[in-house]
Structure formats: C-alpha cells, structure tokens
C-alpha cells in the first residue's frame, strides 16, 4: 500500500514535469526543430549514462532496432509540431489541442490493431471535436497553432499505439532509448537538408542552455524512467487518469509564468472544459467496458 502511495506521488510529479515542457518551449529562444534536436541529444546522453550506471543491457535484435529507430522519427515529428504550435500560439492552446490525442487514439488503435470501434469511443470523439470547434471559433487568431497542436496529437497517438504493441516484447526504457536515437538521426538528416546546421551557430545563450538541459534531462529522460517505473504497482487505469492532468498542470503553469499572454476568451475555456472532461471520462468508460 505504501509503495502505491509513493508511486502515485511520483506519477503526479512526473505528469507535472511533463506539463512544464510547454513553458520551457515558450521561453527557449530557438526554433522548434533545433530545440527538439538538442532535447533528444541531451536526453539520449542522459539515458545512456543511466544504463551505464545501472549496468542494464541495451541489446536488441535487428528487427527491434529498426522498429524503434523508425518509430523514433514519429516521436521527433510529434515534438517538433508541439513546440512549433507553442511558438505560433500559446501554451494553453497547444496543450488543449494536444489533449485530442484521446480522439485520434480511439480511431487509430482499432485500425492498426484491427479491432472494432465502439459507440462510446465515437461519443467521446464527437465531444472532443465539439470542444476543438469552439476553440477554433473563438481563438481564430491562433489557427496555425491549433493545426500544429492537432498534428502533434495525431503523431502522439500514432507512436503511442505502436509502442503499446512493442512494449509487449521489449523493456520500455530500451524502447525509449532507441527511439530517441532514431529521432536524433532523422532530425539531424533534416537539419543537414535545410541547412540549419551551418546557418544556425551552436553558441546558444546561457539561459537557453540551462532551459534545454532541464528539458532534456528532467522533462525527458528522468521523467520517462520515473513514469515507466510506477507502472509496476499502479494500474493502467490510474496511470491514464493521472496522465490526463498534464494539460491542466501545463495551463496553470503557463498562466503563472506568462499571465496576461495566456488569458483566453470565454469560448476557449468552454471548449477546453469539454475536451478535458471527455479525456477524463474516457478511461472510466474504457475501464468499465473492459470489466464487462
């Protein structure tokens, strides 16, 4: 029982840290692509050190490596869309749009795993669409940010669905490590292609290096390992419920740090409440359906 309480606190702290990534994405001055490149580089290095300290084997088969490596490209796309959405809109708009991850997962998971789509999934999806419509209607000046936020949600649901299959045969930390390596490779290729390696100097400001280090270590590698470890004692249902607090924590933190810049219209908050209520109800519905 004590272990459950401890892990529940760790999970809340982890989700709180994930919510903080939006704030970091806003205060770091560089664009989304190089920001994600630095994030993945720092996170990969940190995880590699963790594997060395724990003496954990990172051996995988050739097939597993290819699967993780390719999935890492989707993870990188998700982060790039996420941070670009923050750059062109606000943290609040981006996080609420990212919450539509539940909707896209309800669509993509049955298609990928060849499972039936249930009526409850469709109902939750329609509620989320209604919330997104309200945000579009009342925050039209952030249309580009909303579009990239939704694209980030699609990418997130895609790699999460893939990982839910991969994790049945591999350690989550191993999957994360090789996906980060894959993400680093694909972003590096892209940066050579767009010329940002030569046009953008590596001498970042001390403030950017500080924030990037926090983003790459605590918000990525440390939070990832912590998030995985709690799953040993907590049910998937409870993990899903707590994880849904990420946009709530993120919006609160964004308001604390940016105040007036994060104030939205009444219509936005109505839409946000519809979406957030839907994603909290979804795991309850899925849990009851699974029990039946």
Distance, in Å, from the CA atom of 210 to the CA atom of 181, rounded to the nearest integer, reads 22
- At residue 86, φ and ψ (nearest 5 deg) are -65, -40
Domain count, the chain: 1
| pLDDT value of position 139 | 81
- At CA 142, angle to CA 138 and CA 146, rounded to 5? 95
On whether the CB atoms of residues 117 and 107 are closer than 8 A, the answer is yes
Domain limits for position 199:
2-291
The rounded Cα 109 to chain-centroid distance in angstroms is 17
Q: What is the pLDDT along the chain (292 residues), one digit of tens a residue?
A: 566 778 788 888 888 898 899 999 999 999 999 999 999 999 999 999 989 998 888 899 999 999 999 999 999 999 999 999 999 998 988 988 888 887 787 777 777 777 777 777 778 778 888 888 888 888 888 889 999 999 998 998 888 888 778 877 878 788 889 999 999 999 999 998 888 777 766 778 889 999 999 999 989 888 877 766 676 666 655 666 677 788 888 888 888 888 777 777 788 888 888 888 887 777 777 667 666 6
- Give Cβ neighbours of residue 127 (< 8 Å, ≥ 6 apart): 274, 275, 277, 278
pTM above the 0.85 mark?
A: yes
Nearest-5° angle of CA 6, CA 227, CA 60?
A: 130
Our CA angle for 23, 223, 99, nearest 5°, is: 55
């Amino acid at each position: 029982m004590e272990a459950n309480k401890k892990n529940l606190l760790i999970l809340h702290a982890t989700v709180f840290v994930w919510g903080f990534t939006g704030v970091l994405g806003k205060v770091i001055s560089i664009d989304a692509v190089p920001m994600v490149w630095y994030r993945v580089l720092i996170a990969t290095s940190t995880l590699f050190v963790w594997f060395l300290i724990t003496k954990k084997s990172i051996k995988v088969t050739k097939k597993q490596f290819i699967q993780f490596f390719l999935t890492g490209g989707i993870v990188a796309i998700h982060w790039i869309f996420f941070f670009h959405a923050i750059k062109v809109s606000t943290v609040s708009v981006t996080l609420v749009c990212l919450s539509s991850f539940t909707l896209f997962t309800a669509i993509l998971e049955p298609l990928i795993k060849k499972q039936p789509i249930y009526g409850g999934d469709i109902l939750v999806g329609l509620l989320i669409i209604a919330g997104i419509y309200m945000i579009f209607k009342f925050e039209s000046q952030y249309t580009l940010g909303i579009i990239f936020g939704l694209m980030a949600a699609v990418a997130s649901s895609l790699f999460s669905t893939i990982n839910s299959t991969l994790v049945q045969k591999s350690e989550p930390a191993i999957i994360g490590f090789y996906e980060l390596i894959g993400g680093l490779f694909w972003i590096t290729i892209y940066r050579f292609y767009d010329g940002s390696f030569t046009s953008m100097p590596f001498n970042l400001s001390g403030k950017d290096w500080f924030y990037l280090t926090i983003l790459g270590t605590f918000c990525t590698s440390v939070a990832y390992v912590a998030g995985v470890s709690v799953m040993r004692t907590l049910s998937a249902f409870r993990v899903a419920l707590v994880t849904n607090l990420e946009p709530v924590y993120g919006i609160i933190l964004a308001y604390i740090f940016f105040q007036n810049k994060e104030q939205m219209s009444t219509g936005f908050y109505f839409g946000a409440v519809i979406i957030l209520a839907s994603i909290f109800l979804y795991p309850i519905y899925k849990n009851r359906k699974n029990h039946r």
